Amino acid sequence: DGGITQSPKYLFRKEGQNVTLSCEQNLNHDAMYWYRQDPGQGLRLIYYSQIVNDFQKGDIAEGYSVSREKKESFPLTVTSAQKNPTAFYLCASSGAGGPIYGYTFGSGTRLTVV
Protein backbone atom coordinates (compact mmCIF):
# COMPACT_ATOMS: atom_id res chain seq x y z
CA ASP A 1 0.00 0.00 0.00
CA GLY A 2 1.20 3.50 -0.76
CA GLY A 3 1.91 5.89 2.04
CA ILE A 4 4.38 7.96 3.98
CA THR A 5 6.79 6.43 6.44
CA GLN A 6 8.36 8.49 9.18
CA SER A 7 11.09 7.19 11.43
CA PRO A 8 11.82 6.92 14.20
CA LYS A 9 8.49 7.18 16.00
CA TYR A 10 10.18 8.45 19.17
CA LEU A 11 13.52 10.25 19.36
CA PHE A 12 15.46 11.59 22.29
CA ARG A 13 18.17 14.16 21.79
CA LYS A 14 20.71 15.66 24.09
CA GLU A 15 21.11 19.40 24.04
CA GLY A 16 23.68 20.50 21.48
CA GLN A 17 23.15 17.52 19.19
CA ASN A 18 21.83 17.49 15.65
CA VAL A 19 19.27 14.84 14.78
CA THR A 20 17.74 13.82 11.45
CA LEU A 21 14.15 12.71 11.01
CA SER A 22 13.38 10.47 8.10
CA CYS A 23 10.42 10.82 5.73
CA GLU A 24 9.88 8.46 2.78
CA GLN A 25 6.86 8.26 0.46
CA ASN A 26 5.91 5.81 -2.26
CA LEU A 27 2.90 7.76 -3.53
CA ASN A 28 4.83 9.32 -6.42
CA HIS A 29 3.91 12.73 -5.01
CA ASP A 30 5.87 15.75 -6.17
CA ALA A 31 5.44 17.97 -3.11
CA MET A 32 6.53 17.20 0.42
CA TYR A 33 6.20 19.17 3.65
CA TRP A 34 7.44 19.23 7.23
CA TYR A 35 5.19 20.51 10.01
CA ARG A 36 5.75 20.96 13.70
CA GLN A 37 2.88 20.48 16.13
CA ASP A 38 2.84 21.80 19.69
CA PRO A 39 -0.16 21.58 22.03
CA GLY A 40 -2.65 24.32 21.24
CA GLN A 41 -0.55 25.63 18.34
CA GLY A 42 -1.94 23.67 15.45
CA LEU A 43 0.39 22.81 12.59
CA ARG A 44 3.24 25.14 11.71
CA LEU A 45 5.17 24.75 8.46
CA ILE A 46 8.93 24.30 8.71
CA TYR A 47 9.99 23.60 5.11
CA TYR A 48 8.38 22.41 1.91
CA SER A 49 9.56 21.12 -1.42
CA GLN A 50 7.58 21.09 -4.65
CA ILE A 51 10.24 19.39 -6.76
CA VAL A 52 13.47 17.48 -6.39
CA ASN A 53 16.53 19.60 -5.54
CA ASP A 54 14.38 22.57 -4.56
CA PHE A 55 12.79 23.58 -1.26
CA GLN A 56 11.44 26.68 0.47
CA LYS A 57 11.38 27.91 4.04
CA GLY A 58 8.11 27.85 5.87
CA ASP A 59 7.07 29.94 8.85
CA ILE A 60 9.47 28.49 11.43
CA ALA A 61 12.56 27.35 9.47
CA GLU A 62 15.18 28.70 11.88
CA GLY A 63 17.21 25.88 13.44
CA TYR A 64 16.12 23.33 10.84
CA SER A 65 17.53 22.12 7.52
CA VAL A 66 16.26 19.82 4.77
CA SER A 67 17.34 18.20 1.54
CA ARG A 68 15.42 16.79 -1.43
CA GLU A 69 17.81 14.68 -3.44
CA LYS A 70 15.19 12.09 -4.36
CA LYS A 71 11.49 12.42 -5.08
CA GLU A 72 10.69 9.82 -2.43
CA SER A 73 12.69 11.29 0.44
CA PHE A 74 12.61 14.55 2.40
CA PRO A 75 14.69 14.28 5.58
CA LEU A 76 14.58 17.00 8.24
CA THR A 77 17.58 17.84 10.42
CA VAL A 78 16.93 19.52 13.74
CA THR A 79 20.11 21.39 14.54
CA SER A 80 21.51 22.54 17.85
CA ALA A 81 20.46 26.06 16.85
CA GLN A 82 16.80 25.12 17.39
CA LYS A 83 16.20 26.38 20.91
CA ASN A 84 13.04 24.46 21.72
CA PRO A 85 12.95 21.33 19.57
CA THR A 86 10.70 19.17 21.74
CA ALA A 87 7.60 18.67 19.61
CA PHE A 88 5.66 16.32 17.35
CA TYR A 89 6.99 16.45 13.77
CA LEU A 90 4.76 15.55 10.85
CA CYS A 91 5.77 14.94 7.26
CA ALA A 92 3.20 15.24 4.49
CA SER A 93 2.99 14.97 0.73
CA SER A 94 0.62 16.01 -2.02
CA GLY A 95 0.25 14.97 -5.63
CA ALA A 96 0.17 16.77 -8.95
CA GLY A 97 -1.39 20.19 -8.63
CA GLY A 98 -0.04 20.80 -5.18
CA PRO A 99 -2.12 20.66 -2.02
CA ILE A 100 -5.52 21.14 -3.64
CA TYR A 101 -6.25 17.43 -3.46
CA GLY A 102 -5.34 17.08 0.19
CA TYR A 103 -2.25 16.16 2.09
CA THR A 104 -1.26 12.65 3.10
CA PHE A 105 0.50 12.67 6.46
CA GLY A 106 2.98 10.28 7.97
CA SER A 107 2.45 8.96 11.49
CA GLY A 108 4.91 11.48 12.94
CA THR A 109 8.05 11.57 15.08
CA ARG A 110 7.94 12.70 18.70
CA LEU A 111 11.23 14.43 19.53
CA THR A 112 12.21 15.05 23.13
CA VAL A 113 15.29 16.94 24.29
CA VAL A 114 16.78 15.42 27.43
Partner 1 sequence: GQQVMQIPQYQHVQEGEDFTTYCNSSTTLSNIQWYKQRPGGHPVFLIQLVKSGEVKKQKRLTFQFGEAKKNSSLHITATQTTDVGTYFCAGPWGSTLGRLYFGRGTQLTVWP
Q: From residue 7 to residue 46, what is the string marking binding to partner 1 with x (rule CB under 8 A)?
A: ------------------------x-x-x----xxxx-x-
Residue 7 CB, nearest distance to partner 1 (Å)? Answer: 14
> What whole-number distance in Å separates Cα of residue 59 and Cα of residue 1?
32
Binding mask 60-89 toward partner 1 (x if CB under 8 A, else -) reads ------------------------------
Cβ burial of 59 (10 Å; 0-12, 13-18, 19+) is exposed
Asked whether position 107 contacts partner 1 by CB under 8 A, the answer is yes
Measured between alpha carbons, how far is 111 from 51 in angstroms, rounded to an integer? 27
